[in-house]
Every structure is written in C-alpha cells, then in structure tokens.
Chains A and B, each alone.
Chain A
Amino acid sequence: METFTETDQHVVIKNQGTVPLRLIPVLPYNVFLSDVLALLQNSKNHCVNYYAFPYADKLKFICCIADDEAGNLKVLSHEQSLQREVQLISIAKDSFPLHIFEREISENFGVEFINSPWNKPLRYAFNRADRSKVINDYPFYRIKSDELHEVGVGPIHAGVIEPGHFRFLCNGETVLHLEIQLGWQHRGVEHTYLKKSTVLQRTVLSESIAADTAVGHATAFATLMESLGGIQINDRLVIERTIGLELERIAMHIGDLSNMCVGLAYQLGASVFGALRTPTINFAQLWCGNRFGKGLIRVGGTHYPLSPDLIDSLSKFLDNFEPRFRTMANETFALPSALMRLENIGTVTKTQMELIGAVGMAARMTGIQRDIRQSHPFGAYSLVPYETVANITTGDVWARALLRRLEIEKSINYIRTLIGKMQSINEPPSKPAQDRDIKLNPEALTISLVEGWRGEICHSAITDNEGEILHYKVKDPSAHNWMALALSLRDLEISDFPINNKSYSLSYCGHDL
C-alpha cells in the first residue's frame, strides 16, 4: 500500500508513514523558503520538525509540516554544501515557531541564519559546531536601567528537580521579561540512538528521554520502528498502548493538579489529588511492573498483555477514582481563595500561542484545537475517534488547571470505551519483535507523531542504504512551550512565577535531550 503521494514541491505522507528518501524533492533554498512560508500562512498547518543531517557529502535539511485539517504531513527538503560556511535567510524571521529548529541547526552545524530573530544557542550539544561557545557565556537579554533589577533563579532548582536557569528582568515585584535558558541537562539522546544498536536498548532509551512521558516517547519510537520495518500489529496491541497513554495522561495531570495546589498553599487539594495519583500509577505497576509504565511499550508486541483480570481491576480503579476526583475538583474550582490565585494570572492569548507555535495543552488552553489524537489519529484514536477539549479559551492558570480536569474526565471515559471495544477482539497477544526479525526499509524517512500528555511528540528516523538508522530526531512538546511560560510572565508579579511554571509543567530534559 502506498502511504505517500508526490508533488513537485513536497511529499505527502500520513502520520507514522514511511517514504523513500529519494522521493522527497530537493528544492533550491529560495523555493523551499517561499513554499514553507506559503504553507505556514495557513493557521491549520504547523511545522512539526525541521532538521539537518550530513548525507553523503551534503548537509540535508528535512522540514515536515503537519496539515491539521487534511490529517497529513508534507515533507520538504533542501541540501547545502558541508564544505563551506553556509548562510541562509532565516525562516523564523517570518514564522517564529521555527526559531527552535533554526537555532538547533545553527548550533550543531554552524549554519548562519541571516536576520534570525532570536539566534541564541539552544542546548550546547556536546558535538556542536563551535565549541568555544559555552553555557556560562549565554547571551542574556539585558536592559540598562537604574530602576530595573535582575533576579536569576537556578540552574539548581529549590526543590532539586531538574536544572534550568530563569532570568527575570523586574521592575519591583513586576516582571517585565523572563528569559529561560536551558541545556544544562543535555545527554546526547539522539547520538545515543545511533550508538546503541539493539531495538531493546533503543526502546529503553526512548523511555528515558523524559521519564514523565515514558509511554508517550516509547510509543512514538515503537510505531516509528514498526512503520520503518513494515511490522504489522494487531488491534489488541494498539488499544493496549492507547490505554497506557491515557493512563499516563491521567497520572500526570492529577499529579500536576496536586503540585499546583502546593503552589497555592492549598493543602487539602495537594493531599487529595496527590493521594489519587497513587492508585493511578499503582495500576501501571500492577500491569507492567513499573509505576511510570516503563517496559509496557515494545516494538511489535508486548510482554504485558492486558489480561481479563487486569481489565477488571482497571474498571474497578476507574469506578473508584472518578467520583473521588470529581468531588475534589468541584471543591477546588469553587474555592474563592484558590480561584483568586488561578483566574487572570499568567494570561496568554490565542494569537500569542499561534505565533510561537505552542502545541498540546499550551495551545488548547487558549482555544487552539491542536491535538494529534484528533487531527492525525494514530493507535486506537483511528479506531475510536477522540474529540479534543475545545471550549477553554482564557489562557490563564485557571484555564490550564481546568483543561487538566476536563482531559482527565475525557480520558476516563475514553479508556472505558476502549475496554468495551477490547471485549470484541479475540486476537492473541503478540510477543515483541526480535532484532533478527526487524528489517528496516533502506534509504527511507519515517515520521511518528504521538500526542503525549504534554502535547505533540515527534520522532523521526532516516535509514541508510543497508537499513541501519542513519539519523534519529526527537522533539518533545516542551521545546515549543517554554516560550509560552516566558510570555505568561510578562507584567506579572514575580511571586506568581511558581504557579505558572507548575501550570505548564514543562520538561527540562525533553528540551535538552
């Protein structure tokens, strides 16, 4: 079955589709530039990945733009010489969301983007082009003024979670500008994909990209390998994986609600939501032996099929969880002192989120319906359609809290539907594929989009002529959304930073890779 169509400018594939590399038209840069900008004019299109890699004696650039209306992905490319200094006109100048990709390309390969609006190093990768640039010399944005002062927080977090540096430009208690500098946790994930050759090693690596999205990233990797290797999986496995994803969503959302209550100093909410998270992750423990769902997702099959006994305890868990959650949520969202801390705090607009290319929750809380589950269905979402939460538009901390509540309720119902669907499936569970059974398509490109709890996860791989992975690219939703946090802080009291940070709950390691 052909999973792609060709035009002169680009190749069109479905989510998790594979296309031979030679079929992607290589455009001159000026054509590429105008094509990309023309596509991004439409707000239904957004760029999910744009990266470069050395290919033969050239530097090959791949850009992938998702069409949320038609549910397909358009892949464009251009090539530049590896030998000489490359100078290109910046696309980010006219379409800001691409700044994150251009900064990465610029950092890794020394490509200079002319007129780039925010050309700062992204994460100080260890194999960056210019090693004389070091993290301690990061070019912070500054304002010279006697009235203003700077507050620097981090890179060591007060709760010793993950490292990140936040630089506030303040006028008294009011924040004028927040700059977030990450990269302290760079581990070389993409490089490690190439060094580790067995599929098990690579799966475990995927689970470790961001430990709070273990199922999400592992699903993105597994589906990518299956597409690239032509491995067929049955509906039973598809549904099980989706249940895993939705459970992860429930666990993380409720954990974040608990954390937000800690930020409000609302003890009842903090302890009840915290206590409700435990049975959620305990079910994951019961299912696959790990509370974060590590080990659950494997390429081509699973070690932990969802047996009738497990389905039974899952239903019991949901029946017990739902009324308790609803009671506490009603209580919290009606508490005046809590609402005072949530409403109209850290407001961002829909236009701002469109401009920075926010994905996942950060987009949905302003009313942008950007949800891979709905626009590019994968897994069980193509069997049972999922309708994303669409009626939250205020873009403040309250919106982010309420979105979590509504998504938890939706996920509970969705899991129940999937359980019902599973009853009619009589396929036997399949074992994970072994290395010797996996033959990847040579000279091919695959893109896999998965909606994790935070937002859109994008994994992309390119194989060489022997079917070995030549380049692996990971993008966590946090890469885009950190900018949303910075925008939220504009003209806000500095003491409201923690509650905003918790309300976005972004990943440091997902960004740093």
Chain B
Amino acid sequence: MLSLVLILLASIYFPGVIVKVKAIFSGRKGPSILQPWYDIFRLLKKGSVYSTSSSFIFQIGGPIYFSTVLLAALFVPFEEATAVFSFTGDFVLFAYLLGLGRFLLIISALDVSSGFEGMGANREAFYSMLIEPAFFLLLGALAMFTGYNSFHEIFANLHYDSYFSAIIAIIAGYVLANITLVETSRLPVDDPLTHLELTMVHEVMVLDHSGFDLGIIKIANNIKFVLFSTLSANCFIPQSLDLSVRIGIFLLMQAFFAGGIGWLESFRSRNKMAMNAQYILSVSAIAMILIFVVIIIKNRI
C-alpha cells in the first residue's frame, strides 16, 4: 500500500518538475509545478466530443487505458514494502496491462479513421514492440540475480554485496531510464511539445480525444512516468537506511529523474524518426549485457 501512495504522491509533482526545469534552462520563469494538474482538472470538468465517424471503441479507449495504468500501479512495490498485489511472475502481468492499455489507445486512434492518427498508432505500436524485449531482459536478469520471480521479492532481495553488483544497478538504472523515455513518449524518441502532427508519435494518437477522456489519458501518462522511475529507484536506494529516510530519498529521486528528463530535453534535439528503431534496439542490447554480467557473477556458466 505504501508504494501506491508514494507513486500517486510523486506523480503530482513529476510532470511539473520537467516543465519547470525546461523553462529554467531556456531562461524563462515557467509555470507553477502544479500547472499540469490544473490543466488536467480543467479538462476533467469538460465533456468529451466524439467524432461521428467513430464507434464505441473510441469511447472506451481512454477509460481502459487509464484503468490499466492504475491497475499496473498496484503491482509496483517500494523495496521490501509490498505492493497491493504480489504473486509469482506479476511483472509479466504488469507489462501486458500496460500493453493492453496501449492496444486500446492504438485501436481507438485507428477508429477515427484519420490519416494522422493511423500514422501515430503505427509508430507507437512499432516502438513499443521494440522496447518490450528490453523490459523482460532486465527483469529476467534481476530475477536471476536475486533468485526470485515477483516484483516484490526481487526488489526486497536486491542487495549489492560486491563491486560487481554495482554494475548491475548502473546498467539496470540506465535501461529503465531509457524504457521510461520510450514508454512515455519523450525525447529523443518523441517530442511531446510539437504541434506538428506529421512528426508526432503519442500526441497524434490522442488528437481526437478531448475533455474528460483526454484528462484521464494525461493522468495515466503522469502515473506511467512514476511507475518506471519507481522501478529504477528500487534499484538504487540502499535498504539499510531508516524507512522515513528512504521515503525522503525516494521523493527526491523522483524529482531528480524528472529534472533529468527536463535537462535532456533542453540540450539535445530529437532523433530522426528512422533512427528511433536503432536507438530502441540498443537499449535491448544493453539489457543483454546485464544478463551476461549476472551470469558471470552467479557462476552460471
């Protein structure tokens, strides 16, 4: 239960920190940290407009996406504090809950039969397909390293007792950070700020969603950010510390991740679209290295 509270808490300031950091780096004051949420509340108060050429698929797409992300949040633990649900192999369910949500968004984008949205759906499906191996290679490596196979047990038993295992934390953190960027459609894969439909990936898929539906999709995106950054925080925070200290570190780390994304988005440009596949596959390749490191450490060869 603790992890769910922490995830929801962090998702309050996570998107705001990204915006703020980007604003500061471009020499502006920037809006309040809570501005993304004010925008969401404004959207929630509105009704949704549905295109006459769309069917019920379009209407259920947003709510299902939202609920799958929320459901996935129930499986993410905060180190040894259990998640709401925990069982063997729960990370497989976690990954495919997110996958189900994305699938619904993709078909609801196709449902409105807009050329743009079809393009965006095509891109998002392609990139999420490419990033999937990275996630499972990573979890596989961690499972092999700890000898357990549920989120909770893995992170509760993730101890670094040698210098070698510090390599695992670094690589796992790096891979998770990159998965976060791809899953949440940020730079260098996608540009969340662009107004140009032809270059969009995620944003163009939700172009026809409005009002309440758009509001909950945005909430789901904010939570999704924190889901992945919680997983990376789990790899880093030493368990020997006091719980209250660890909670403090966790919340600071979330702000640090958000700041990192803001920094990244300020000082580089996005990839050329055709380069994205190469970039995403390189993340999987690095996850492969992680597997090898674990095999060597555990003397499995």
Contacts of B198 in A (CB 8 A): 151, 153, 494-495, 497-498
Q: For residues 258 through 277 of chain A, which have their beta carbon under 8 Å from a beta carbon of chain B?
A: 261-272, 275
A498 touches B196 (CB 8 A): yes
A151 touches B116 (CB 8 A): yes
Contacts of B115 in A (CB 8 A): 149-152
In the assembled complex, A143 has its CB within 8 A of some CB on chain B? no
Contacts of B119 in A (CB 8 A): 151, 173, 494
Contacts of A271 in B (CB 8 A): 26-28
Q: How far is the CA of A340 from the CA of B193 in the complex (A)?
A: 20
A-B contacts besides A263-B196, A498-B196, 18 pairs, CB < 8 Å: A150-B115, A151-B198, A158-B197, A173-B119, A173-B273, A265-B194, A265-B269, A267-B26, A271-B27, A337-B269, A341-B271, A493-B274, A494-B119, A494-B198, A495-B199, A495-B273, A496-B272, A498-B194
Also in contact, A496 and B195, with CB within 8 A (given A152-B115, A267-B22, A337-B268)? no
In the assembled complex, B10 has its CB within 8 A of some CB on chain A? no
Contacts of A173 in B (CB 8 A): 119, 273-274
Contacts of B188 in A (CB 8 A): 337
Contacts of A158 in B (CB 8 A): 195-197
A345 touches B272 (CB 8 A): yes
Q: Can you list 26 A-B pairs with a CB-CB distance of less than 8 A? A: A151-B198, A153-B198, A158-B196, A263-B194, A263-B196, A264-B270, A265-B187, A265-B193, A268-B26, A271-B27, A272-B27, A275-B27, A335-B268, A337-B269, A337-B271, A341-B272, A494-B198, A495-B198, A495-B199, A495-B273, A496-B199, A496-B272, A496-B273, A498-B194, A498-B196, A498-B199
In the assembled complex, B56 has its CB within 8 A of some CB on chain A? no
B270 touches A341 (CB 8 A): yes
Chain B CB count within 10 A is highest, among A267, A340, A345, for A267
Task: Tell me the count of chain A residues lying within 8 A, CB to CB, of chain B.
Answer: 33
**Per-residue interface assignment for chain B, residues 190 to 229, with 1 indicating a CB less than 8 Å from any chain A CB and 0 otherwise:** 0101111111000000000000000000000000000000
Q: For residues 23 through 60 of chain B, which have their beta carbon under 8 Å from a beta carbon of chain A?
A: 25-28
Q: How far is the CA of A149 from the CA of B188 in the complex (A)?
A: 27
Task: Name which residue of chain A comes closest to B207, CB basis.
Answer: A158
In the assembled complex, A338 has its CB within 8 A of some CB on chain B? yes
B191 touches A340 (CB 8 A): no
Contacts of A262 in B (CB 8 A): 194
Also in contact, A261 and B116, with CB within 8 A (given A153-B198, A267-B26)? no
In the assembled complex, B265 has its CB within 8 A of some CB on chain A? yes
A265 touches B191 (CB 8 A): yes
In the assembled complex, B249 has its CB within 8 A of some CB on chain A? no
Contacts of A337 in B (CB 8 A): 188, 268-271
Contacts of B22 in A (CB 8 A): 267
B269 touches A493 (CB 8 A): no
Interface residues in chain A, defined as those with a beta carbon under 8 Å from any beta carbon in chain B: 149-153, 158-159, 173, 261-272, 275, 335, 337-338, 340-341, 345, 493-498
Q: How far is the CA of A271 from the CA of B199 in the complex (A)?
A: 20
Q: How far is the CA of A494 from the CA of B119 in the complex (A)?
A: 10
Main secondary structure of the interface of A (DSSP, over half): helix
CB distance from B205 to the nearest CB of A (A): 14
Contacts of A340 in B (CB 8 A): 269, 271-272, 275
Contacts of B191 in A (CB 8 A): 265
Interface residues in chain B, defined as those with a beta carbon under 8 Å from any beta carbon in chain A: 22, 25-28, 115-116, 119, 187-188, 191, 193-199, 265-275
Task: Name which residue of chain B comes closest to A266, CB basis.
Answer: B269
Task: Name which residue of chain A comes closest to B275, CB basis.
Answer: A340
Contacts of B270 in A (CB 8 A): 264-265, 337, 341
Contact of B268 among A151, A266, A272, A498 (CB under 8 A): A266
CB distance from B257 to the nearest CB of A (A): 18
Contacts of B187 in A (CB 8 A): 265
Also in contact, A335 and B269, with CB within 8 A (given A149-B115, A158-B197)? yes
CB distance from A415 to the nearest CB of B (A): 27
Contacts of A268 in B (CB 8 A): 25-26, 266-267
Q: How far is the CA of A248 from the CA of B26 in the complex (A)?
A: 25
* Ranked 8 nearest A-B pairs via Cβ: A264-B269, A271-B26, A266-B269, A265-B191, A495-B273, A265-B270, A498-B196, A337-B268
Q: How far is the CA of A289 from the CA of B266 in the complex (A)?
A: 35
Q: How far is the CA of A153 from the CA of B273 in the complex (A)?
A: 19
Q: How far is the CA of A134 from the CA of B274 in the complex (A)?
A: 39
CB distance from B260 to the nearest CB of A (A): 15
Q: How far is the CA of A291 from the CA of B27 in the complex (A)?
A: 23
Q: How far is the CA of A149 from the CA of B122 in the complex (A)?
A: 14
Contacts of B116 in A (CB 8 A): 151
Chain A CB count within 10 A is highest, among B26, B198, B199, B267, for B198
CB distance from B301 to the nearest CB of A (A): 37
Contacts of A494 in B (CB 8 A): 119, 198
CB distance from B281 to the nearest CB of A (A): 17
Q: How far is the CA of A248 from the CA of B195 in the complex (A)?
A: 27
Q: How far is the CA of A422 from the CA of B274 in the complex (A)?
A: 53
Q: How far is the CA of A22 from the CA of B38 in the complex (A)?
A: 72
Q: How far is the CA of A493 from the CA of B264 in the complex (A)?
A: 25
Task: Name which residue of chain A comes closest to B192, CB basis.
Answer: A265
Contacts of A493 in B (CB 8 A): 272-274
Q: How far is the CA of A337 from the CA of B27 in the complex (A)?
A: 22
Task: Name which residue of chain A comes closest to B200, CB basis.
Answer: A495
Contacts of A335 in B (CB 8 A): 268-269
Contacts of B27 in A (CB 8 A): 271-272, 275
CB distance from B103 to the nearest CB of A (A): 21
Q: How far is the CA of A338 from the CA of B267 in the complex (A)?
A: 10
Q: How far is the CA of A266 from the CA of B194 in the complex (A)?
A: 11
Task: Name which residue of chain B comes closest to A493, CB basis.
Answer: B273
Contacts of A272 in B (CB 8 A): 27
B195 touches A159 (CB 8 A): yes
Task: Name which residue of chain B comes closest to A345, CB basis.
Answer: B272
CB distance from B109 to the nearest CB of A (A): 15
Chain B CB count within 10 A is highest, among A152, A261, A266, for A266
CB distance from B22 to the nearest CB of A (A): 6
